[in-house]
Amino acid sequence: MKKSLYILFAAALLSSCISMDMTPKSQGSSASWYTTETELNMAVSEFYILGYWDYTISHEQWSDNFTYRNTNRNDILEGTVNGQTWDAYHIWEQAYKLISRANSLLENIHRAEEAGMSEEKVNRFKAEACFARACKYGDLVFYFGDVPYIDRYQTIQEAEQNGRTPVNTIKASIYEDFDFAAKYLPQSYAGTSMHFTKGAALAMKARYALWLGDYDIAAQAAKDCMDLGVYSLQSDYSDIFWQSTGLIDEKIFCIPRSIEASVVLDVWYVNNSLPRNAGGYAAYTPSWDLLASYLCTDGLPIDESPLFDSTNPFKNRDPRCTKTIVEFGTVHCDFIYNPSPAATTTTKASTGASQSNQDSRAVNQYASFNGLLLKKGVDLSYTENGKQVQSDFLIMRYADVLLMYAEAKIELGEIDASVLNAINTVRARAYGVNAANTALYPAVTATDQATLRKAVRIERRMELAFECLRYEDLIRWRLAEKALNTYNYINLDATACLEKVVNKGYWFWGITPEIDEDGIADFSALKEAGLCQEGAKRNFPARQYLLPIPTHDIELSGGNLVNNEGY
């Protein structure tokens, strides 16, 4: 039943992705529109168009978790963002489109009330609109700061004539919308996550409050979500992300994809995530920075732990390391993965046959430039169905709520057992044990604010890697100028790597990189020793903590929109 509902939802609600610029059904020409339940269901279905939500999928590429061969691939990491940058405009455009649709429903739903629709149903439809509007304004104020605020149906051009509304004014409305949504949305919909829920409203309120520095609001919203008692952590970390997993109690807010509805993961992402042996490009890869960030099994960073072996960087690491990044010598997508230039052949696991190793740059020059491959969510099913992948677009899960609660309480200085329990519950799951069994995993025991702040930030990076949140964390922690003004290190060319690294026993890293107080790795010693090379240089100027207002909209505003500083 769940599967059937999933497919019907995706087909009915997401298929209109191809007509994002058409007049939505929720703006029918009839003066009686928004009168019946059928019409209102058609209207709210527009809120779930994938394009309104999945623009954040590119944000991992804006962070130090990601590398694409020897390039940055985007204006964010080049430091060249301007008012005509597509990424900035796309956030702005999609947010205001959804806000407009939400406002249209809220402004006209009185027709349904006048026609006799029950107060319960009316409030539920209103709650869905409020949820959508709150999320999109949360995005806008986080990425752009002050923005035009629209709370009734009008064009963005009309609203821009009024200029920019201060963040503090808008965020009060955001929290009010989330509160309304949390009050009137149900906890579930007959076992599906088709629509926004009470838990999603509380969790997303916590996220935006955390992003905006309102820690008291974030802590309370996260706790209210936890206290619902309807969410729990999946027992196996890896299982959360497989496309075969479907609905689980850890997923609080996601937009499903469906092959039947032709709503699938972008083929660029699929091909670039797959190893070359399995027919992919092996170009969308975790960075060395991310690999270095995982703690060792004693809870210490790699430059402090006696357990770390630079020639076997996956050994004795937090289990999420090898569940996020493919460990050398293990089976991945039906092949033994070994990127060493000495490994010119590999084995196909299902047949035992030996073949040329396309994932070694000694064989294929376009194999992973840094030797790493993404494992999280990627398996052999990526090669099936013509590489059509229907993984859920996951926006919020319960582990994030626990970590948001802990972080907010830490920033408030309200450190108690609940804070440690929230962090340790997430960490213990990674080790496959109960949080109370502290002898079986490196539990967090510190109680001072500085140590716990560092601990929760490291935990977020290990837990949430490649979930499109690292960039936002760097922005709100004001660490982007530090983390994103670094080189993206890669292996030497195949011949030089074989001679200078492999043959001398220095593979994979000959020297342990140093990790600073913010968990950021320094690979300069490897570079100076000739054991790696610098890839693209990341550049992040201070102005980019806020994105520029799109040039097109500034021009349409008649001078009423002033751009952010530095643009």
Position 192 confidence tier, pLDDT thresholds 50, 70, 90: low
- pLDDT at 139 > cutoff 60: yes
- pLDDT at 4 > cutoff 80: no
Strand order in the sheet with 331-332: 331-332, 335-336, 345-348, 353-356
- Per-residue pLDDT reduced to its tens digit, 523-541: 999 999 999 999 999 999 9
- Per-residue pLDDT reduced to its tens digit, 465-511: 999 999 999 999 999 999 999 999 999 999 999 999 999 999 999 99
**pLDDT at residue number 6:** 41
Residue type, 113: E
Position 264 confidence tier, pLDDT thresholds 50, 70, 90: very high
Q: Reduce the DSSP state of residue 162 to 3 states and report it.
A: coil
C-alpha to C-alpha distance for 298 and 321, rounded to whole angstroms? 14
Summarize the confidence of residues 48-57 as an average pLDDT.
92
The CA–CA distances, whole Å, from 454 to 94, 202, 234, 286, 349 equal 34, 25, 25, 22, 41
Position 157 confidence tier, pLDDT thresholds 50, 70, 90: confident
**pLDDT at residue number 194:** 66
- pLDDT at 277 > cutoff 60: yes
**pLDDT at residue number 66:** 96
What secondary structure, in 3-state letters, does 227-243 show? Answer: HCCCCCCCCCHHHHCCC
**pLDDT at residue number 497:** 98
Q: Structure tokens of 93?
A: 């455009």
Which of the 8 DSSP states describes residue 299? S
* Cα dihedral: 453, 459, 464, 468 (round 10): 30
> Under 8 Å CB-to-CB from 507, ≥6 apart: which residues?
311, 340, 342, 497, 501
Residue 167 parent element (H or E): helix 167-184
- Domains of the chain: residue spans and CATH: 2-17+43-67+82-260+547-556 (1.25.40.390), 267-389 (no CATH), 396-480 (1.25.40.900), 482-545 (no CATH)
Whole-angstrom Cα Rg for the chain? 24
Summarize the confidence of residues 431-442 as an average pLDDT.
97
**pLDDT at residue number 199:** 98
**pLDDT at residue number 361:** 98
Which of the 8 DSSP states describes residue 171? H
Position 1 confidence tier, pLDDT thresholds 50, 70, 90: very low
Query: What is the phi/psi pair of residue 347, to 5°?
Result: -120, 135
Position 153 confidence tier, pLDDT thresholds 50, 70, 90: confident
**pLDDT at residue number 45:** 93
- Per-residue pLDDT reduced to its tens digit, 317-348: 999 999 999 999 999 999 999 999 999 999 99
Q: Structure tokens of 182?
A: 């949390």
> Under 8 Å CB-to-CB from 567, ≥6 apart: which residues?
81, 82, 83, 543, 548, 549
Using CB atoms within 10 Å of the CB of residue 35, give its burial: 0 to 12 exposed, 13 to 18 middle, 19+ buried.
buried
State the chain's mean pLDDT as an integer.
Answer: 93
Higher-pLDDT residue of 16 and 387 is 387
- pLDDT at 53 > cutoff 60: yes
Neighbours of 505 (CB within 10 A): 8
**pLDDT at residue number 272:** 97
- pLDDT at 15 > cutoff 60: no
Query: What is the phi/psi pair of residue 278, to 5°?
Result: -95, 10
Summarize the confidence of residues 181-198 as an average pLDDT.
85
